């Protein structure tokens, strides 16, 4: 009797073990987030610098800024900006600009000097590192916020070297 119960128990254990193995070998679900969401009223993306001739943090800071389309070229401050914390050896930086209303925005990368002088712009979304007056005055791409939804993939290339400024 004990042998018969033991055989049934062993058969059950083997079947359970095989079932666990088969189940764990199945395909894992794949999650492709093809429609990411962003914080409301925000612009998100990545700035990739094409050189590493960064200015020192003791003289200023690199900013990514959003200006309303009607306020470009800029004659005043941006609607939103974020400071890029430059790390030696790193060339790509993710950013998020918040507190924006619906509308079209020109996004740029600049260097804000601590003491006087023009703060150069080294990149404009849609123009990147082009030294083109036409593109400078009327950039080809804008970041557009509609129905207070955040936008993403506003990615751009930029000079780090301020002597290569485009504005």
Render the burial of 60-99: b for 16+ CB within 10 Å, e for the rest.
bbbbbbbbbeeebebeeebbbbbebebeeeebebebebee
Q: What is the pLDDT of residue 167?
A: 85
Q: What is the pLDDT of residue 23?
A: 47
Q: Which of 53, 60, 61 is nearest to 91 (CA)?
A: 53
pLDDT < 50 positions in the chain? 6, 9-13, 15-24, 26-28
Q: Around 21, how many Cα atoms within 13 Å sit in the side-chain half-sphere? A: 6
- What's this model's pTM, rounded to 2 decimal places? 0.78
Domain positions in the chain:
43-164
Q: What is the pLDDT of residue 117?
A: 76
Determine the topology of domain 43-164 in CATH.
Answer: Immunoglobulin-like (2.60.40)
Q: pLDDT of 58-98, one tens digit each?
A: 899 999 999 999 999 998 889 999 999 999 999 999 999 99
Q: What is the pLDDT of residue 51?
A: 96
């Amino acid at each position: 009797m004990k042998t018969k119960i033991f055989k049934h128990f062993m058969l059950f254990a083997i079947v359970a073990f095989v079932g666990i193995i088969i189940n764990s070998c199945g395909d894992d679900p794949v999650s492709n987030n093809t429609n990411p969401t962003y914080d409301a009223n925000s612009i998100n993306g990545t700035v990739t610098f094409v050189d590493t001739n960064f200015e020192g943090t003791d003289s200023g800071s690199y900013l990514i800024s959003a200006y309303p389309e009607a306020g470009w070229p800029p004659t005043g401050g941006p609607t939103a900006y974020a400071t890029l914390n430059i790390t030696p050896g790193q060339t790509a930086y993710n950013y998020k600009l918040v507190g924006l209303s619906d509308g079209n925005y020109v996004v740029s990368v600049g260097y804000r000097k601590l003491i006087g002088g023009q703060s150069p712009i080294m990149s404009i979304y849609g123009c990147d590192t082009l030294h083109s007056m036409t593109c400078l005055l009327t950039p080809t791409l804008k970041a557009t916020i509609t129905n207070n939804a955040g936008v993403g993939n506003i990615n751009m290339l930029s000079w780090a070297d301020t002597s290569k400024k485009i504005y």
